[in-house]
Amino acid sequence: MASEMESAVKKKLKTFKDLEFKPHTMANGLRAVMEFGNGYGVSVVRFTHAFDINNEVVVRFVKAVFDHNGGAGYGSYTSSESEWEVAVMHGGKLCYATPITDDVIGHAEELEVTEIMAKVQRLKKNGTCTHGRNK
């Protein structure tokens, strides 16, 4: 059975190497957003701290993530320069209801990001999505 990566290459699906990273607009890090023909897309990020450090809620969140990551200093669900946080998107917004995940996916290395991207590209075209968290 072929891996998701091999399958993506054979079917000309987009992979991690196709992502174009730019500076994150709200944090010290990188972000790439890619939309696919089925109405879905991905947001792939890694950042070290939140931009609005005067916001008490943001400060508490960043401190909690920092503590959870063993003091690694990342505000995204990552703990090293080789990891990424991936969100499924639909219609340009974060999507929290797909067969892939009901949240963001953290600590993903390049190969796993490609595997997630392949799954997103295979989702049914123009499917529906819950854009808010129902947890």
d(CA 63, CA 122): 36
pLDDT in the model for residue 51 = 47
Torsion (CA) 6, 8, 11, 13 in degrees, nearest 10: -160
What is the H or E stretch that residue 92 is in? none
CB 104 within 8 A of CB 86: yes
pLDDT in tens, 88-129: 999 889 999 899 999 999 999 999 999 999 999 999 987 778
Structural contact between residues 47 and 32, judged by C-beta atoms closer than 8 angstroms = no
Quick one: pLDDT at residue 16? 98
Task: Mark 48-82 as b/e (b = at least 16 C-beta within 10 Å).
Answer: bbbeeeeeeebeeebeebbeebeeeebbbbbbeee
Residue where the block lists tokens 């946080």 = 85
How much is the pLDDT for 71? 47
Model confidence over 24-66: pLDDT tens digits?
877 778 999 999 999 999 999 998 765 445 555 555 665 565 5
Confidence category of residue 10, pLDDT binned at 50, 70, 90: low
Continuous segment of H or E residues that includes residue 113: helix 110-121
Pick the range with the lowest mean pLDDT from 51-55, 74-78, 79-83: 51-55
